[in-house]
Amino acid sequence: MIFRVLNRLIGRTDSSLDAVNAYVEGNASPDEIKLIEQMVRENPALEKDLTTQRSLLQVLDRVDNIEAPRSFAVTPEMVAAAERSESRLSRLAELFAPQRKLALAPAVIAGITALGVALLTLGDITGVVDQNRLSGEGSFTTTKAAEIGRQTEGRVSIIERESESSVADDVIVTVVVEKQVAGDSGSDGSTEMAASTDAPVATALVSEAQAPVVAPESEDSSLAAKAVAPDGEPEADADVIGEQPPSIAAAPPALVVEVDGDSLTENDIPAVAPEISELVSPDDLEAGTVTTSSLGYGVGGEIADGAADGAALGAAEGAAAGAADGAASNEGKGISLPLWQLQIALAALAIAAIGAWAGLRRARGE
Amino acid sequence: MASSIEPLNDTDSILTSFDEQRLIQLTRDGDYDAFNRLVIEYQGAVFAVVLRTVRNRAAAEDITQDAFISAFRKISSYRGGIFRAWLFRIAKNASLDYLRKQARRPETSIDEDIVYFSETVKDDSQDPLADALNAELARLIEHCLGGLSEDHRFAMVMVDVEGYQYDEAAESIGVSIGTVKSRLNRARARMSDCVQQDPELLPVAMRL
């Protein structure tokens, strides 16, 4: 196509091409000879070129035929051997043979995915791309909550997992922090235990925003505290700070901490908190999903007279602090993606593509 | 499968179009003898084109053999047209694969196996000096032909050296007749420029 365009730019058309070929081959028609003569008048150097080409063809015409050195007859054994050697992989490699359009497909895929990894990494370093907490390891998942319950042998357990209809991905996890009280060792459910011990039960429902981009300030983060009476019914609901934002669908999993026992004081924190602290990763704490302060306030609130309110308030304040931290840490960042998952997936794809490319080359015997 | 065709040797006459189609049909049914009559008919032409394309005699033999084996296995994909051109296309693809593999292995030299036209240039003059000049000229032409791109070289070998018509060359290469003409035009121009590098070897008419 390019040569055709160039030929047209210099005034040479397909008809002139035919004329030149016919003239060199010695079978030009009278019209073609006239056209050649006109071209020669316009470009005298062309005459020598055409003469040289005619002489060249005369030399090439003197070349003898080449005889086959042996018989190339085909036998069933040859065909069978060829079919055996043509494995599935080699047939696949044929699809990517150099003369085919798919030849560079594996290399292109490898390049694109490697570029994707590089861009994500660069975005992570520069802060343009942020790890999506919803799917990141920083989120406090039901799996992790269940792990807490299992490892604390029921003293800390999941008693509730909710998914509010208006909040598609908001998983509410309720964890009961039970203080071991003599004579109550047989209790295993928070409601049952509350009844048997006749002690106030405080449930702190902490729904923290993960500081999404739409909520740059902590005050906008969703935050709620709920107190639960000993009979398990909600005693009081309190929106401590801020209001539930309409964009709660973007909110991370919430944490509900339920504290049982009126004798629970700040002195008891070390007996409970370390177990939780060991199970909750620093990323959880950094993300504001679970904060030591929320646990501390929730457990160590003034619950002698108003345990529920105190615990709820304390947990809510702790959550507020976490949310504020989260908001501050995410402020100004552009895109939230499941970063490390994408990086690993793309890197794996790049490696697979490179491996496939190398394998196909080997299958082709290159 | 037993063949219904009498065995032929290399000196048998050229097949008619009717015979060719009948042999192709028998080959589709798995008749090796029928296919081998086609092999005998075309092996010289296929080997010559392959040899002048890859310029390595051992490789050319392997490629030619593989091309015929591949043709037997893929005979069902032959949809008509010039059967020889269909064979040439199989051989051309195999030749180009070989050349590209060679290009990726620059350490592999094929100089010792280059097919010089000096072996095959016809000269009835019985003049030792003319023979020597022809040999040098043939080497020069072979050198210049080797400098062409694979596509241009194949077109030039098919048409200018082996003497096939444009339509058959186009079908063999898998391009249009216009593309063949265009490639030939450029190949001839480059060949002319190349051979002018050593003008004393050229016939008087070719000297600038």
Residues A180 and A263 in one domain: yes
Tell me the per-residue pLDDT of A13-37, one tens digit each, with 9 for 90 and over.
Answer: 577 888 888 888 888 889 889 999 9
Answer yes or no: do A159 and A283 share one domain.
yes
Q: Are residues A170 and A273 in the same domain?
A: yes
Residue A77 lies in a domain: no
| d(CA A66, nearest CA chain B) in Å | 5
Q: Sorting pLDDT into bands at 50, 70 and 90, what band is B62?
A: very high
Q: For chains A and B, what is the number of CB pairs under 8 angstroms?
A: 124
Chain A residues close to B96, C-beta within 8 Å: 99
Bigger pLDDT: A316 vs A152: A152
A267 and A327 inside one domain: yes
Higher model confidence: residue A224 or residue A133?
Answer: A133
Average pLDDT in the A256-277 region? 46
The C-alpha angle A248, A251, A256, rounded to 5 degrees, equals 105
Choose among B46, B121, B206: nearest Cβ to A56: B206
Mutant choice from A46, A52, A86, A360 vs B, greatest count of B C-beta within 10 A: A52
Same domain, A111 and A249: no
Q: What is the pLDDT of residue B187?
A: 92
List all residues 6 or more positions away from A289 whose beta carbon is below 8 Å from its beta carbon: A133, A138, A139, A140, A208, A210, A252, A253, A255, A322
pLDDT value at A172 more than 70 = no
Who among A4, A82, A365 is closest to B69 (CB)?
A: A82
Considering A101-110, A257-266, B122-131, B184-193, the range whose residues carry the highest mean pLDDT is B184-193
Read off the tokens for A325: 């931290």
Residues of A in contact with B10 (CB under 8 A): 71
Which among B35, B97, B38, B88 is positioned nearest to B64, based on CA atoms?
A: B88
- Is A136 within a domain? no
Residues 6+ apart with CB under 8 A from A119: none
| A229 or B58, greater pLDDT | B58
B144 → chain A, closest CA residue: A56
How far B81 CA sits from the closest chain A CA (Å)?
22
Same domain as A186, residue A324: yes
Position B203 confidence tier, pLDDT thresholds 50, 70, 90: low
Q: What is the ipTM of this complex?
A: 0.80
Every domain of chain B and the residues it spans = 8-108, 116-208
Q: Are residues A345 and A304 in the same domain?
A: no
Q: What is the pLDDT of residue A313?
A: 47
Pairwise CB contact (< 8 Å): B69 & A365 = no
Worst-scoring range by mean pLDDT, A342-346, B81-85, B93-97? A342-346
Most confident of A61-75, A300-314, B103-117: A61-75
Q: Residue A70: its pLDDT value, please?
A: 92
The verdict on residue A135 lying in a domain is: no
Reply yes or no on whether the pLDDT at A72 is more than 80.
yes
Judgement on whether residues A170 and A295 belong to the same structural domain of the protein? yes
| Higher pLDDT among residues A281 and A100, named by residue | A100
- A203 and A224 belong to one structural domain: yes
pLDDT at A67: 84
- Please state, for a pLDDT cut of 90, what percent of chain A lies above it: 3
| A47 domain-assigned | yes
- Tell me: pLDDT of B69 over 90: yes
Give the chain A residue whose CA is nearest to the CA of B10.
Answer: A71
Among partner residues B73, B101, B185, which is closest to A366 by beta-carbon distance? B101
Q: Are residues A218 and A112 in the same domain?
A: no
Q: Which residue has the higher pLDDT, B108 or B20?
A: B20
Quick one: pLDDT at residue B180? Answer: 92
Which of the residue ranges A92-96, A223-227, A359-363 would you say has the lowest mean pLDDT?
A223-227
A52 plus A165 within the same structural domain = no
Mean pLDDT of chain A: 58
Do the domain assignments include residue A76? no
Whether A191 and A216 map to the same domain: the answer is: yes
- Domain of A325, in residue numbers: 142-333
- Indicate the number of domains in chain A: 3
CATH topology of domain B116-208: Arc Repressor Mutant, subunit A (1.10.10)
Contacts of B206 in chain A (CB under 8 A): 51-52, 55-56
* Structural domain contains residue A262: yes
% of chain B residues with pLDDT over 70: 74
Q: What is the pTM of this model?
A: 0.49
Which of A3, A59, A69 minimises the CB distance to B61?
A: A69
CATH classification number, B8-108, choose in 1.10.1740.10, 3.40.47.10, 3.40.50.150, 1.10.260.40: 1.10.1740.10
CA A186 to CA B141: how far, in whole Å? 102
Domain presence at residue A185: yes
Which of B3, B125, B166, B192 is most worth mutating to test chain A (most A CB atoms within 10 A of its CB)? B192
Contact B188 A99 (CB under 8 A): no
More confident residue, B105 or B205: B105
Instruction: Check residue A126 and give its pLDDT.
Output: 83
pLDDT in tens, B103-156: 776 655 555 455 555 455 555 556 666 666 677 777 788 888 888 988 899 999
Three-class secondary structure of residue B13 per DSSP: coil
